[in-house]
Structures are given as C-alpha cells and as structure tokens.
Amino acid sequence: MKAVLFDLGGTLADYYERSEFPEIVRQGIAAVEAYLNDQGILNVSSDDIARRLKEEDHEADDHRVRPLEERLAAIFQLDTSAKSDARMMTLCRLFMQPIYARSRRYDDALPVVRELRAREFKTEIISNTSWGSPAALWREEIERLDLAPHMDNVVFCRDAGWRKPARQIFEFALKQIDMKAQDCIFVGDHPEWDVAGAEAVGMEAVLIDRQGNLPGYRTQRITSLCELPERLRGGTR
C-alpha cells in the first residue's frame, strides 16, 4: 500500500449528525435571507423561500453535483450572471457558517496523518461538500483544521463534478496524485459513499465507525484512526 485516502466529515473532523442537518440548512437559509433583506434586494416572500427550499433540498440521482450557487439562486430568484459571482460567494459563506461553526478536528486525526506521512505514505482527502458548496470554502476549512500541510492533495466533489459514491470522483482523485487504485486504501465513515464507492474502483476500504454502530459490518472496520497505522504496518511496497 502506497497511499491512504480519507473522507473528511465523520472521519477526520466532526460537523453534525445527519438528523441535525435540516435545522442547519434552515439556519443557513435564514442567514442568506437576512443578508438579502438588509441589502434591499430580497424580492421573494418567506413562503416562496420555504417552498423552493423543499424543491432544492435533494441530490441528483446520478450523483452529479448540484452547486450551492444554483440552489440559492433558485430559492431566492437571484441573477447568476458573471457580475454576481462575488455576491454569490458571500451568500455561500453565510449559508455555510452554521456548519463551520460546529467543526472540530478529531483528536486522533493529526497524529495519525503525521505518522503516515513519516512512513512515506501519500495522503489525500476525497470529500463531498454540503449542498454542493464551493470547494474554495472547504479548502479554507482544511487550512483552519491544520490538515492542509499534511495532505498531498485535497479533492472535493465540486472539483470533479461528481459526488461520492460515483466512480468519477475517485478516478479524478487518483489522477491528481498519480496513483493506481490497488495501491490505495480509503478510510471513511459512510458504508455506501466511502466504502462501496472506493471498492467499486478497485481500492481497499476501511469503515471508521466511531460510535460502534456497525459492529458486524462486512468489511474492515475501525473505531478510531489510531487503529489504522498498525493495520498498514508492513503494507508499503
């Protein structure tokens, strides 16, 4: 094994429980609505916002990315021309604030990544983003979490145009670090997005089950990243 690829949320950093996400989305939409109202450019009613929010609150069946900018433009009936790019990024930042306010790097993340780097493994993050939010915002988040200096590369779904478990995002990420799937192991917390997605392109996969909710899971399972280096010991070639 020559490279260890990681999911972000639930693997290297903690953000929210899935049950909390609807309320987080509501908070983000409320922040965007308040900003547009303060700027005097809110041209839709709260009822229309709520209706369109329900229409936009889904991912594509084929796992193509649905960008946050397009969702916000549809919900608030906004101009999406080039001149509005800066404003749209501001709105994206506002929407993402409730998520980033909750972020916390897991205590085991940095020591394990540092050990793997010392053992000359390549390291890379492959992650979906909430509601197709911009990769640029997540790269800032990776810097805040102090993970960026310890990664050979970071790939978000917005970079590839596809969300995990689509094979395209994994294939895109492999090209970025010039690695073959059989030389990589992927570590993530979602059985479908992370494990099945990685295995579909020929990678070995490890499920990190921090809460111990899947003790009988069919594939390799760990409850802490601290278990990973020992599993990889002697695995480089």
Encode pLDDT of 26-73 as tens digits: 999 999 999 999 999 999 999 999 999 999 999 999 999 999 999 999
Q: How far apart are CA 65 and CA 110, in angstroms?
A: 29
Structure tokens at 102: 């909750």
Q: Look at residue 236 in the predicted model and tell me its pLDDT.
A: 40
Q: Look at residue 8 in the predicted model and tell me its pLDDT.
A: 98
Q: Look at residue 235 in the predicted model and tell me its pLDDT.
A: 47
Model pTM score: 0.93
83: confidence class by pLDDT, cuts 50, 70, 90: low
Structure tokens at 4: 């260890």
CB 132 within 8 A of CB 158: yes
CB 114 within 8 A of CB 150: yes
Q: Is the pLDDT of residue 113 over 70?
A: yes
Structure tokens at 70: 């397009």
82: confidence class by pLDDT, cuts 50, 70, 90: low
pLDDT (average), residues 199-209: 97
pLDDT in tens, 136-194: 999 999 999 999 999 999 999 999 999 999 999 999 999 999 999 999 999 999 999 99
